[in-house]
Amino acid sequence: MTTYRSRILGVGAYVPPRVVTNHDLSKVMETTHEWIVERSGIEERRWVDPGEGGAEMAAKACTEALEKAGVAAKDVDMLIYATLSPDVTFPGTGVFVQRLLKLGEIPCYDIRQQCTGFIYGLAMADAFIRTGQYKNILVIGSEVHSTGLDVSTRGRDVTVLFGDGAGAALVGRATDENMILSTHLHADGTEAEILWTESPASRNHPRITAEDMEAAKHYPHMVGKKVFKQAVTRMPMVLMEGMVTNGLKLDDIDMVIPHQANLRINQMVAKLIGLPEAKMHNNIQKYGNTTAASIPICLHEAIELGKIERGDTVALIAFGAGLTWASAFLRY
């Protein structure tokens, strides 16, 4: 059987135009620009205006990814849409992107691995391409958080962290040494409730009540310190795992693109492994945490800035709700 390898052919990103600064938030809840910057590094984020959803943002990011790849929409043969904020309960949001881009009757997956979703999607695309079953796969991370946040002092610990946006990569067949080298996926559900949104829930009858809303169960909740500790432990581990698999030393890696959850987490990860600051790209300062979209948005920016060039060895690392964590190593 012929097997193939996959590579990233093009990357696109889109964020909504509305900028929400820390000062804007401090007008509607008890918080300060200084508190948010000191704890998370975030200065501003983008929030959608009414009418704009995850599918529309994703379609814009995909259009750019296709342009960058020089591949026509008609040649895409699968779509993988990673999100924790689907546009509607069902169907999955991927089909709306398929419709917007007129991709034809290709298979569309929606996957739910939160901040790790883009790397899980990349691993799926890599596996499908390796078998030869599909040739050009759009892997998307797209999130609308702003419509589901508690924009009051009660929800300030979570609300100040999240932003909206979309990123996409077109993954296709490798034709030379530039390829996805390996992916490493993990999950551990034992502490799933330290970062979750409990309602609405199909295990409840009805799925949501006035009491649930009174108790803010329809908003995300996080045990911040536990999440922080897990992130700074798991991300270095999964980076090391990829280095061992590929026989790479730290010096061999040109750029690390970490999930953008908290600048302090990423700085601590770099310090723990001894990675020079110049070898990690962060842009959480401008966009906050866009969960599944954060890695493609950050990767896109690093490429556009010329910080990543063809042939560079790049590591993507993520940690998120579930708990899930993952890495992907690629020769871009």
Of the two residues 115 and 326, which places its CB atom closer to ligand COA in the complex?
115
Contact in structure between 298 and 291 (CB atoms under 8 Å): no
Stretch 108-127 residues interacting with ligand COA (CB under 6 A)? 115
CB of 121 to ligand COA, least distance (A): 16
- Distance, in Å, from the CA atom of 285 to the CA atom of 289, rounded to the nearest integer, reads 9
Contact in structure between 194 and 22 (CB atoms under 8 Å): no
Binding status of residue 294 toward ligand COA by CB under 6 A: no
Q: Which residue in the list 22, 115, 136, 283 is annotated as catalytic?
A: 115
Of the two residues 115 and 137, which places its CB atom closer to ligand COA in the complex?
115
Stretch 162-181 residues interacting with ligand COA (CB under 6 A)? none
Of the two residues 71 and 84, which places its CB atom closer to ligand COA in the complex?
84
- Distance, in Å, from the CA atom of 277 to the CA atom of 321, rounded to the nearest integer, reads 26
Of the two residues 136 and 283, which places its CB atom closer to ligand COA in the complex?
283
- # of chain residues touching ligand COA (CB under 6 A): 21
User: For ligand COA, which residue of 225, 247, 277, 278 counts as binding (CB under 6 A)?
Assistant: 225
CB of 101 to ligand COA, least distance (A): 29
Give the nearest residue (CB) to ligand COA.
224
Binding status of residue 228 toward ligand COA by CB under 6 A: yes
Q: How far apart are the first and last CA of the chain?
A: 26
- Distance, in Å, from the CA atom of 117 to the CA atom of 167, rounded to the nearest integer, reads 12
- Distance, in Å, from the CA atom of 86 to the CA atom of 15, rounded to the nearest integer, reads 17
Q: Which residue in the list 145, 259, 281, 300 is annotated as catalytic?
A: 259
The phi, psi pair for 259, rounded to 5°, reads: -55, 140
Element housing 19 (H / E): strand 19-21
Binding status of residue 230 toward ligand COA by CB under 6 A: no
Binding status of residue 297 toward ligand COA by CB under 6 A: no
Q: Parallel, antiparallel, or unpaired: how do β-strands 195-196 and 165-173 relate?
A: unpaired
List own/partner pairs for 87-92 with CB under 8 A and 24 or more apart: 87/53, 87/54, 87/55, 87/144
CB of 156 to ligand COA, least distance (A): 4
User: For ligand COA, which residue of 13, 15, 20, 31 counts as binding (CB under 6 A)?
Assistant: 31
Binding status of residue 69 toward ligand COA by CB under 6 A: no
Helices (runs of H) and strands (runs of E) counted in the chain: 11, 13
Q: Is residue 283 annotated as a catalytic residue, yes or no?
A: no
300-319 footprint of ligand COA as x/- string (CB under 6 A): -------------------x
CA 213 centroid distance within chain: 28
- Distance, in Å, from the CA atom of 324 to the CA atom of 106, rounded to the nearest integer, reads 28
The two three-digit tokens of residue 138, written as one number: 């759009």
Stretch 233-292 residues interacting with ligand COA (CB under 6 A)? 261-262, 265, 289
Distances (CA, A) of 44 to 66, 117, 154, 163, 228: 29, 23, 20, 9, 21
The residue count of the chain comes to 332
Of the two residues 42 and 275, which places its CB atom closer to ligand COA in the complex?
42
User: For ligand COA, which residue of 107, 148, 200, 224 counts as binding (CB under 6 A)?
Assistant: 224
Binding status of residue 324 toward ligand COA by CB under 6 A: no
Q: Is residue 298 annotated as a catalytic residue, yes or no?
A: no
Comparing CA positions, the residue from 163, 151, 135, 128 lying closest to residue 20 is 163
Q: Is residue 23 annotated as a catalytic residue, yes or no?
A: no
The two three-digit tokens of residue 268, written as one number: 């601590």
Query: Interface with ligand COA by CB under 6 A: which residues?
Result: 31, 35-36, 39-40, 115, 156-157, 160, 222, 224-225, 227-228, 231, 261-262, 265, 289, 319-320
Q: Which residues are catalytic?
A: 115, 259, 289
